[in-house]
Amino acid sequence: MTSRSRMRWAAAAGFSAAVCMALALGGPVPAAAAGKAAQVGQAAGKARTVPVRLIAVNDFHGNLEPPTGSGGRIVNEAGQTVDAGGAAYLATHIKALADRNSTVVAAGDLIGATPLISAAYHDEPTVELLGKLGLSVSSVGNHEFDEGYRELLRISHGGCHPTDGCSPAGKWRGARYDYLGANVRLKKAPALPALAPFSIRKINGVKVGFIGLVTKTTPSIVTAEGIKDLTFADEVESANRTSRALRLLGVRAQVVLVHEGDQVTPNQSPDACPVIVGAGSRIASGVSAEVDMVVMGHSHQAYVCKTKDPAGADRYVSQGSSFGRVLTTLDFKVDTRTKDVVRSTVAVDNHVVTRDVPADPEIERFVRTWKERVSEVANRRVGTITADLTRTPGPSGESPLGDLIADAQLAATKPGGNAEIALMNPGGIRADLTHAPDGVVTYGEVFTVQPFNNLMQVVTLTGARLDALLEQQYQVNRVLQPSASLTYTVSASAPVGSKVSGIKVNGTPVTETQQIRVAANNFLVGGGDGFSVFTEGTDVWSGPLDIDALVSHFTANSPVSPPATDRITVVP
Ligand SMILES: [Zn+2]
């Protein structure tokens, strides 16, 4: 039975059934047989431990082409900043690190928030690529749920997209690797997992059990609609429950793949440990001593840490940055008699995916094929503009493109989220829209302006908190781009903290206790760019992607002219 059909089965039939079937498939080797094998090994003078290598990647986010800008650079072990990432280079590095004792594993966010080359095809190109690279098992990340649970099941198991149909590559055959989520449960039956909780792989003749987990904060960072049938349980509790099941199956070599992690100080070596203690550390120290190592993701950081498990033994924790810039090797020996990892043999190392190696020709061809295909999507006309729309701020801090994006976001969040105003972070506007001779705006151009696939959200703030939020702009030195429905005055000479006055929504002065529905992307609503007041918002509603909001705006309002940047009035 293939691993994929096992996953399907486990997802459909639930956790206890999965355990039963796994028992039937290959449970504990009877003690007598195990003893005999060990004796034979000894008699033949063979080593009683066998080497295993895991090659781990996380937060790939569909970076088929070498990522550009700061996302395509990383500090290496020597402290130098080098270019890194790109599927064809990743392939070369994996081939150099792989042998018959190895397998490739991952810790989620392989898809979602991806460049157009992958996003335009619901990330099928990325999932196909990862199969080609030998990926065998991954935890899900929060971004695996970006298009919803049903879509994740389609990506895993195959079939064409329900509305967009088959991609140019033909019928989608599903992922060649298992997506695991031991803490992802069905709301209507919380005892049942919504995804396979674990996978068992035979590597170099020994069984290794992989437990997949995703951050329990997923509901607050993913569109609610797509995961409305799911709950996300505590990672540690779920890991330990699954670990016990693996042990019942006689699987003692256990690896946690968890899409959660910690931050590190900027520019430290990818092999350094110090982390800023957070959710990753909680999981790293909390999971059962049966678990031999913990591979992380989510925070896009690179680290290798030797920590202690609850029984006091050394246990490694690692993460490999993001976008395919770093691969982690986890080498260890498994005792063929105890079936367990010999902890003293574990060695973990982060490798930068440099571009000074030859690009893998097959993968390079694969990426080029999708690049040619996506050019059609990229060239799709979404509307027209009458002049350049720039992100260059004027004296008030507003830019024409920023104001336009805020207007688009308000229009997209009014119907479902009852938004009254919208605010956009200027740092999230990645390019200008320049006027072509025919004035046409293409999907590719709009995607370049808003490439993050951020979710639009709406929260309620009181008039007093909106005032505090607007004051905060002058503490963090970033002026949020306002929709036309929000106007206010800023005093250039007033001290920070009392610069803003005359706040009006739709022309009406705002009172301190008034409840205002404020739209912003999920990054800002989460307190991004230092806008902590946003996190005080209540009644969070999640809506469409920011890119879709902007595309819809062009489709509905073309030809679009640059708006006047007069929503903020600056006085001396
Ligand atoms: Zn994540």
Question: Tokens at residue 351, please?
Answer: 């490798």
CA of 260 to the centre of ligand 1 (A): 7
CA of 257 to the centre of ligand 1 (A): 13
CA of 180 to the centre of ligand 1 (A): 15
In this predicted structure, what is the pLDDT of residue 137? 98
Rounded to whole angstroms, the Cα distance separating 127 from 454 reads 21
CA of 455 to the centre of ligand 1 (A): 14
Whether the upstream peptide bond of residue 559 has omega within 30° of 0, thus cis, is yes
Structural domain includes residue 134: yes
In this predicted structure, what is the pLDDT of residue 454? 82
Identify the domain boundary among 370, 392, 415.
Answer: 370
CA of 142 to the centre of ligand 1 (A): 5
Domain count, the chain: 2
Quick check: 535 and 473 in contact, CB under 8 A?
no
Backbone angles phi, psi at 64, to 5 degrees: -65, -45
Q: Return the axis-axis angle of helices 235-248 and 279-286, rounded to nearest 10°.
A: 30
| Gyration radius (Cα) of the chain, Å | 26
Quick check: 295 and 105 in contact, CB under 8 A?
yes
In this predicted structure, what is the pLDDT of residue 46? 60
SS3 per-residue string spanning 104-165: EEECCCCCCCCCHHHHCCCCHHHHHHHHHCCEEEEECCHHHHCCCHHHHHHHHHCCCECCCE
Residues 361 and 474 in one domain: no
Structural domain includes residue 351: yes
Quick check: 107 and 141 in contact, CB under 8 A?
yes
Residues 334 and 395 in one domain: no
**Residue type at 334 in one-letter notation:** V
Residues 217 and 182 in one domain: yes
CA of 63 to the centre of ligand 1 (A): 15
CA of 247 to the centre of ligand 1 (A): 29
CA of 109 to the centre of ligand 1 (A): 6
Q: Return the axis-axis angle of helices 15-26 and 3-13, rounded to nearest 10°.
A: 140
Residues 343 and 453 in one domain: no
The Cβ of residue 68 has, within 10 Å, a number of other Cβ atoms equal to 12
Identify the domain boundary among 370, 392, 413.
Answer: 370
- Give the domain range for residue 420: 381-570
Structural domain includes residue 405: yes
Residues 399 and 540 in one domain: yes
Q: Identify the three-state secondary structure at position 215.
A: coil
In this predicted structure, what is the pLDDT of residue 160? 97
CA of 298 to the centre of ligand 1 (A): 4
Residues 326 and 409 in one domain: no
CA of 496 to the centre of ligand 1 (A): 35
CA of 248 to the centre of ligand 1 (A): 31
CA of 34 to the centre of ligand 1 (A): 41
CA of 297 to the centre of ligand 1 (A): 7
Backbone angles phi, psi at 459, to 5 degrees: -130, 160
Structural domain includes residue 25: no
Residues 75 and 141 in one domain: yes
Residues 515 and 483 in one domain: yes
Residues 136 and 267 in one domain: yes
Structural domain includes residue 29: no
CA of 113 to the centre of ligand 1 (A): 10
Q: Identify the three-state secondary structure at position 220.
A: helix
CA separation, residue 325 to residues 72, 82, 134, 407, 497 (Å) = 7, 10, 17, 36, 41
Structural domain includes residue 425: yes
The pLDDT profile of the chain, 572 residues, written as one tens digit per residue, is 333 333 333 333 334 444 433 333 333 333 333 333 444 444 444 659 999 999 999 999 999 999 887 789 999 999 999 999 999 999 999 999 999 999 999 999 999 988 899 999 999 999 999 999 999 999 999 999 988 999 999 999 999 999 999 999 999 999 999 999 999 999 999 888 899 999 999 999 999 999 999 999 998 777 777 898 999 999 999 999 999 999 999 999 999 999 999 989 888 999 999 999 999 999 999 999 999 999 999 999 999 999 999 999 999 999 999 999 999 999 999 999 999 999 999 999 999 999 999 999 999 999 999 999 999 889 999 999 999 999 999 999 999 999 999 999 999 999 999 999 999 999 889 889 999 899 999 999 999 899 877 889 999 999 999 999 999 999 999 999 999 999 999 999 999 999 999 999 999 999 999 999 999 998 888 888 889 999 899 998 888 889 999 999 999 999 999 999 999 999 99
Identify the helix (H) or strand (E) that includes residue 174.
none
CA of 179 to the centre of ligand 1 (A): 15
CATH code for the domain of 244: 3.60.21.10
Residues 296 and 415 in one domain: no
Give me the residue label for tokens 């694969």. 366
DSSP per residue over 33-90, as a string? HHHHHHHHHHHTT--SEEEEEEEEE---TT--SPP-GGGGEEE-TTS-EEEB--HHHH
| Residue closest to 478 by CA, chosen among 407, 393, 535 | 393
Structural domain includes residue 55: yes
| Residue closest to 15 by CA, chosen among 187, 191, 168 | 191
Residues 136 and 284 in one domain: yes
Identify the domain boundary among 370, 389, 409.
Answer: 370
Question: Tokens at residue 55, please?
Answer: 């090659």
Contacts of 486-489 with C-beta under 8 Å, sequence gap 24+, read: 486/421, 486/422, 486/423, 486/567, 487/567, 487/568, 487/569, 488/567, 488/568, 488/569, 489/568, 489/569, 489/570, 489/571
Query: 54: which residues sit within 8 A by CB, 6+ positions away?
Result: 102, 103, 104, 105, 208, 255, 295, 328, 329, 330
Rounded to whole angstroms, the Cα distance separating 199 from 219 reads 24
| Residue closest to 211 by CA, chosen among 175, 174, 176, 178 | 178
CATH code for the domain of 464: 3.90.780.10
In this predicted structure, what is the pLDDT of residue 5? 35
Rounded to whole angstroms, the Cα distance separating 113 from 535 reads 22
CA of 490 to the centre of ligand 1 (A): 37
CA of 350 to the centre of ligand 1 (A): 20
Quick check: 102 and 137 in contact, CB under 8 A?
no
Backbone angles phi, psi at 404, to 5 degrees: -65, -45
Quick check: 523 and 453 in contact, CB under 8 A?
no
Structural domain includes residue 16: no
CA of 140 to the centre of ligand 1 (A): 9
Residues 455 and 537 in one domain: yes
CA separation, residue 398 to residues 425, 488, 520 (Å) = 11, 12, 16
